[in-house]
Chains A and B, each alone.
Chain A
Amino acid sequence: MKELISPDPPVKRFLTPLFMMNPIREYQDALTRRHFFGRAGVGLAALSTLLSDDLRGDDSIQRNAVGEMSRLPHFVPQARRVIYLFQSGGPSQIDLLDYKPGLKKRLGEEVPTSVYPDERKTTMSNAQSTFATAPSIFAFPRFGESGLRMSELLANTGQFADDLCIIHSMHTQAINHDPAITMMQTGSQIPGRPSIGSWLSYGLGSETAELPAFVAMSSRGSGRAGQPLYDRLWGSGFLPSVYQGVKFRNQGAPVLDIYDPPGVDPSMRRTMLDYLGKLNELKFQDSGDKEIQTRIAQYELAGRMQSSVPELLDFGQESKQTMEMYGPEVDRQGSYAHNCLIARRLAERGVRFIQLFHQGWDQHGSLPKQIRGQCRDTDQPTAALLQDLKSRGMLDDSLVVWGGEFGRTVYSQGLLTRNNYGRDHHGNCFSVWLAGGGIQGGRTYGKTDDYSANVAENGVEVHDLNATILHQLGLDHERLVFPFQGRDFRLTDVRGQVIQEILA
């Protein structure tokens, strides 16, 4: 039986100031609000719209036409949090998750134009004289009781095959990194929209007082430098900026300016905060501006963060077994393994949306060598994270997502040999997997054609995936809206369908 998470409503919390407009009450709220990064006032207008259908009705609980209560969450959530393991650069579905045994015999054959009709090839390979079929050189053994086929490179993740739902039929319009990753993260190729994590924190608030609701981290593989990331990927777009993800830095102080300046010790900081509080309180007495009280509270919170963040990042209490499970890189700040362990620790502390970005999957040439390196860096830590969550009973209410911004071409970019090939960007089909959080394990969804070049069955748009993620957190993607420039915007624009078939 799944534990039903009580729909412990952020609604009420936000309603209080709206109805009360009472300074004392607001101050208390500001101090106790689980809504970490903000003061309620900021999002108030927006939230009143978000909730407007309730509020405009009578005092009695309103049910809408389909009988649902229009509250947040909109329905009983299956997951409390998301851990999104983003693989940046476009991992090759053909070499990792989309098993195409029939391609072996077509090695070197020209990919038929019927497979690539009017294709949006990138200008990096569109002028090639040949588009030769490049089957994967990697074996695809069966894993788990379900017998899912996965690349030998993902043997550790494969141990959790019975928990995974592999979607083979993802597709996207974008064929270049920037628009594609922006699309995955914000539901639009063109920058300016809020990221999925910020939508979630806007919709659900935070479960922790001392950490942000949305944390992003990045890492680099041991191979090529990888494609750049940008702040907008965890940004809040037009949502109030309290909802933006906080990027944990992968070098030096993890949170910007979290450490006191050299020469200032914690007792001195405490002294300073005490006097600051008193002086600000005097100012409040004089001016009456409630913003001052919020500021007092935020300084106190900052002071608490100065101890809670280092504690979060201190692995001293982790068992030897746990550390070994994540692999040799776990102690190195900025490694994928390190970030996976932080992800678990963040999950334990109530962070709602945890997103890792691992760079280096953009393998235009020498793909076999490079993808081996990428998998060596990521496969064991990914599996360790799943194991760790599972053994702590947290996989059930954590939705784990693994995937990149697009897939790669079946034809070789550059020279094809028996042991070597490259692959260009490919948006028409790619694979992602989901685990935990109310998703059926041990199954696949959607199919591609024999070349892994097009969707053959049950295509999944980016908006569908995002709608499904929101759904598992209890949010209806069509009702999670924010008014901006005169329009109610959604993460899923005007599209998106929850993939009902894969829900447990």
Chain B
Amino acid sequence: MQFHLALKVVLALSLCQVVIATIRADEDRINFSRDVRPILAAKCWNCHGPDENTRKGDLRLDVRADAEHVLSSETDSVARVVELITASDPGDRMPPISSKKPLTKNEIEILSRWIEQGAPYEGHWAFQSLNRPAIPHVDVPAGGNAIDQFIIARLDAAGLKPSAEADRATMIRRLSLDVTGIPPTITEVDEFEGDQSPDAYEKLINRLLSSPRYGEHMAVPWLDAARYADTDGYQNDRYRYMHVWRDWVVLALNENKPYDEFIVEQLAGDMLPDATLKQQIATGFCRNHRINSEDGSIPQEWHVENVVDRVDTLGTAILGLTFGCARCHDHKYDPMSSKEYYQLFAYFNNVPEWGIGPNNGNSPPFIEVPDSWPNLSAEDDVARAPQPLALHRAREKEKGNGLKRPQAGKKNTVMVMHEMPTPRPTYLLHRGQFNEPDETEVLTPDVPQELGGFSNQHPRNRLELAKWLVHPRHPLTARVAVNRMWQQFFGTGIVKTSENFGLQGELPSHPELLDWLAIQFVESGWDVKALQKLILSSATYRQSSRTTPELDDTDPENRLLARGPRFRLHPFALRDSMLASSGLLVERIGGPPAKPYMPPQIWKSISNNKYEQDTGEQLYRRSVYTFWRRTIPPPTMVNFNSAEREVCVVRKDRTNTPLQALTQMNNITFVEASRFLAERMMRHSDDDAAAIEFGFRQLVARAPDSTEKTLLQDAYQSFLGQFHENKPGALKLMSVGEKPHDETLELARHAALTMTASLMMNLDEAITKE
């Protein structure tokens, strides 16, 4: 009994799995994956795991067969492992003191009990093939789908009930923000609220999924994963030109390119038979890594880093695995040897590149992009041979300086992948060091053995690798993709650690649902929009996000989804929403990056470059087009937790800080947007109450209730009184931002409504999807 209680505490505290674990802790049986493996991985495998080089005492505890002799007990005596972990002499006890990882009493209890129960092992769930799970038989709300059956079955088990559907204004705002990254217009809200047809909701989803804004919004997480940026990322951090690749992503998403093609083209579009120019441009994905141009660098060293980044990005973005560990030694937890790491490395090691960049401009291999991009004629849409690598002495005047750089690609080029006719030999690098290759063996490209079980394929080049990834029976690709879509809509993935599906990753909250969605996805022909529509149509997604103290106690992270999602907008969507509400947003797809407002001297204060801010339209483009300098990314975006784009990132925490409040209250972008929202409010009505309500609805879709109306009116009157006394102040406020104010509008009123608009833009609700 006491043990059960203790176990509950342990599990309740074990990382993020609060709900999931407490609920299942009543079971008598120890579950290997949930209870035992985390302990073994954290405390034992460092010395008794897959890495041969650090293995002690010739004992490995990660494979049942090899541990048999220490796990089984002779009659009347305890197993050797139990003896060791409970030894009274600290000198004999495992883990040893020096490891600083002592087992707690409860961990010892769990391990002992597991061994008592026969010490069963389980294969890792994420490496097992997809198997179609049975859909639970439960009642779902009208209009619900199979997703809801999985969710509700789980809620039932936890004694929880789903929430009612959110109201229409909330729904259209939630959907618009989720699908396009900007809120609905008041007209759109009115239309949806008035549409009594049974398929009103479906029509809305369809309209949003086909909006050109869809691709601009959906591209963002992929650009984060692809570490897309407009500079090289090291030291002087000079320019590169990859926006054509970024536009390829936006357009591919808009035209709903199937996910398998999306992946294959980005990894190996250049190697497809009769490759088009677009397919070749897609491979820019593999070239988005940083490139070092610093004087004095050793090219061989940085060439290795380029290839490493490609491998690690493949791991995180597509497979949800952390390959990086195996660069220096056999992976401590996942079944991947160092050799296997370098076999993956070999796929990406045949690019005719130089380890050092040109220090401004694209690094070879690159190709020229015709002016007609993206509207290419059939003749233009043909892959072309990149200019061969041409090195030159970089500092010829400085005697003794041996630095060589490649030629630089100009603004009309884009970096792509290309294969050398004779592959560069790949060796295992000891400790991951470029200058310590194991030249006794040239490695053949191959995929990790443990992941290859679903087929007998041994892909030997990049294209074969890409096709292997999207094999319908691949255990990871679809699960990882589906999980990230779920994360985008619900705030947390079914697997919370969306970057890690390996042994140290978190277990899925709804394993069957994840598999069911993955199978749906593959069988639909990897149809991204269809899968998104399925999720967005579910009753689960449509629930109200209101919560109660009881629900919050039981499931603080809303992992079981007894309510709808509610969380702060992504920084890009946040800025875009304010620009959209104020009418400033410029809706145009693609092109070279825009340089909107930044703090004065943003670059110059700590580096040797100068930020030259754009004027006019470029100030109001969507944030996906904002110039991204890796070493000094836009502070207003980073403040709100955008990825820095240095390396592949698929999950960011979401913080709530006073710096964010300062940005929203005082930053030029936001103040100017409130000026123009105020202008729209004034044009809408001469009546203050009506004007304020109009502004409120622009931001949050619903109308304010009577208390809110009164508070907003009072605030407005107070601002108005102050500005009547202080006309020069009003005029100063009207001069924030580049776009001039309309001088025919009454000044004090405009200023007071600007403050009121700013107040409304700062509402929690205005920056939250709910």
Contacts and interface: CB of A to CB of B under 8 A. Distances in A.
Given A125-B401, A292-B764, A478-B100, A424 B296 contact: yes
Interface string A15-58: 00010011100000000000011110110010011001101111
Contacts of A56: 9-10, 13, 104, 106-107
Given A232-B644, A260-B666, A123 B402 contact: yes
Nearest to B90: A65
Nearest to A37: B657
A228 B759 contact: no
Contacts of B494: none
B142 interface: no
B395 A124 contact: yes
A275 B733 contact: no
A175 interface: yes
Given A58-B105, A230-B237, A288-B552, A45 B715 contact: no
Contact of B547 (A21, A22, A288, A295): A288
Given A259-B666, A272-B758, A486 B505 contact: yes
B738 to A, nearest CB: 14
A280 interface: yes
Given A235-B644, A288-B547, A486-B333, A263 B325 contact: no
A126 B768 CA distance: 56
B296 A283 contact: no
B605 A232 contact: no
Nearest to A21: B553
B331 to A, nearest CB: 9
B425 interface: no
A295 B548 CA distance: 18
Interface in B523-551: 545-549
A398 B647 CA distance: 35
A260 B15 contact: no
Nearest to A51: B13
A113 interface: no
A125 B636 CA distance: 41
Contacts of A325: none
A251 B552 contact: no
A264 B733 contact: yes
B400 A127 contact: yes
B13 A48 contact: yes
Given A38-B657, A283-B763, A265 B729 contact: yes
A269 B324 CA distance: 49
Interface string A124-160: 1111110000000000000000000000000000000
Interface stretch (B154-162, B185-193, B495-503): B495-503
A298 B656 contact: yes
Given A48-B13, A191-B647, A263-B751, A178 B294 contact: yes
B606 A228 contact: yes
Interface of A is mostly: loop
Interface string A398-425: 0000000000000001100000000011
A263 B499 CA distance: 46
Nearest to B731: A263
A257 to B, nearest CB: 4
Contacts of B502: 486
B488 interface: no
A283 B765 contact: yes
Contacts of A456: none
B520 interface: no
B322 A283 contact: no
B622 interface: no
B400 A280 contact: no
B292 A279 contact: no
A300 to B, nearest CB: 8
B660 interface: yes
Contact of B296 (A123, A269, A296): A123
A123 B237 CA distance: 19
Contact of A487 (B325, B609, B662): B325
Contacts of A127: 399-402
Contact of B16 (A45, A129, A263, A294): A45
Contacts of B106: 56-57
B297 interface: yes
A289 interface: yes
B210 interface: no
A497 interface: no
B174 to A, nearest CB: 13
A5 interface: no
Given A38-B655, A66-B97, A486-B502, A231 B599 contact: no
Interface of A: 18, 21-23, 36-39, 41-42, 45, 48-49, 52-53, 55-58, 62, 64-66, 120, 122-129, 175-178, 190-192, 218, 225, 227-232, 235, 240-242, 246, 249-253, 255-265, 267-269, 271-272, 275-276, 278-280, 282-283, 286-292, 294-296, 298-299, 301-302, 305-306, 334, 357, 359, 413-414, 424-425, 476, 478-479, 483, 485-488
Interface of B: 9-10, 13-16, 42, 90, 93, 97, 100-102, 104-107, 233-237, 290, 292, 294-298, 305, 316, 322, 324-325, 332-334, 395, 398-404, 497, 499-500, 502-505, 545-549, 552-553, 556, 566-568, 599-601, 605-609, 631-633, 635-636, 638-639, 641, 644, 646-647, 652-663, 665-668, 671, 707-708, 711-712, 714-715, 718-719, 722, 726, 728-736, 751, 755, 758-759, 762-765, 768, 770
11 contacts: A21-B553, A58-B105, A123-B404, A124-B295, A124-B403, A192-B647, A228-B236, A228-B237, A250-B605, A279-B759, A305-B658
User: 6 closest A-B pairs (Cβ-Cβ)?
Assistant: A486-B504, A128-B400, A122-B296, A263-B733, A127-B402, A228-B607
Given A251-B605, A287-B546, A359-B606, 10 more contacts: A37-B659, A57-B106, A123-B295, A124-B403, A261-B668, A267-B722, A295-B661, A298-B658, A305-B662, A486-B322
